[in-house]
Amino acid sequence: AQSNIEEGDSYLWRLGMGGRISPPIEFPAGNYYVGYNTGGCMGRNELPSINVKNMLDCAMLCEADASCVSFEYKKGGEWCQRSTTCSDFSLTVNNIADTYSVYFKAPNGYNGYVSSGSGNAYLWLIN
């Protein structure tokens, strides 16, 4: 079962099979990311990495930089890595045991996602 989690000014949905969110909702305008808990892109952290308080802070750093296309956030940690070239799921390590989750900007809003094998995919809205 998918769940909606409200966290400050952001909303997170776990995506089910076929890229659908249950129950169906209308998507408001905002800044969307599609995230995977199966690791990021190797050797593609071109922007400065930084220690941040939480994942939302990492997303806001990416939002503030037009060249940032994705970010990685350490699972259970406070480490943020941002990229200008990690722009597609096919570039990731796709390993559930990896210590990072990756989040791709979805500038045109949510329009689906790639199945990540053994991991989970998420849709994240930052208001």
What integer is the mean pLDDT of 34-59?
90
Taking only the tens place, the pLDDT of each residue in 83-108 is: 999 998 889 998 989 999 999 887 66
Q: How far apart are CA 90 and CA 114, in angstroms?
A: 9
Q: How far apart are CA 57 and CA 121, in angstroms?
A: 20
User: pTM to 2 decimals?
Assistant: 0.76
Q: What is the 3-state secondary structure (H, E, C) of 15-37?
A: CCHHHCCCCCCCCCCCEEEEEEC
Band of the pLDDT at 115, cuts 50, 70, 90?
low
Q: Is the confidence at residue 68, as pLDDT, over 60? A: yes
